[in-house]
């Protein structure tokens, strides 16, 4: 499946009606990587404010608080536009970060892309 957009460290692929955002870097820390994540999500929302997005974190081992903030900000923007966001395949370390910060209560998390995509209405 060809990528519809690729920012360094991020690949976006359309799978039926869902956009899968693959984070390719093992660590989302530092301003540059966080800005890439922001630009990728903004690009999606510019084209479709009601987008259905699954962010695939299978390769990510660590996320900064700024990256977590970007995910929360993206969820709020998507909610306002009628879109939805899900997280799939977080590593145990990233799952723990989501649990400690209680972001797992804010953004639904799934073990695989298929389950996350199926949850989008």
pLDDT digit of tens for each residue in the chain (121 aa)? 555 545 568 899 999 999 999 998 877 766 777 788 888 888 888 888 889 999 999 999 888 888 899 899 989 989 999 999 999 999 999 999 999 999 999 999 999 999 999 999 8
Cα 99 vs. chain centroid, distance in angstroms?
16
In order, the DSSP letters of 9-43 are TEEEEEETTEEEEEE-SSEE-SHHHHHHHHHHHHH
Whole-model pTM: value is 0.88
> Domain locations in the chain?
5-118
Q: Which two structure tokens, joined as six digits, stand for 105?
A: 């209560």
The DSSP secondary-structure symbol of 61 reads -
Overall size of the chain counted in residues: 121
Check if CATH label 2.40.30.10 holds for domain 5-118: no
Q: Which two structure tokens, joined as six digits, stand for 31?
A: 């301003």
| pLDDT the model gives residue 4 | 57
């Amino acid at each position: 499946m060809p990528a519809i957009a690729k920012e360094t460290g991020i690949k976006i692929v359309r799978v039926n009606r869902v956009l899968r955002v693959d984070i390719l870097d093992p660590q989302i820390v530092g301003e540059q990587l966080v800005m890439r994540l922001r630009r990728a999500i903004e690009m999606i929302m510019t084209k479709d404010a009601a987008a259905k997005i699954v962010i695939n974190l299978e390769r990510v081992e660590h996320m900064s608080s700024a990256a977590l903030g970007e995910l929360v900000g993206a969820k709020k923007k998507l909610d306002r536009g009628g879109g939805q966001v899900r997280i799939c395949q977080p590593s145990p370390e990233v799952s723990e970060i989501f649990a400690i910060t209680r972001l797992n209560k804010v953004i639904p998390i799934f073990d695989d892309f298929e389950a996350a995509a199926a949850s989008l209405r």
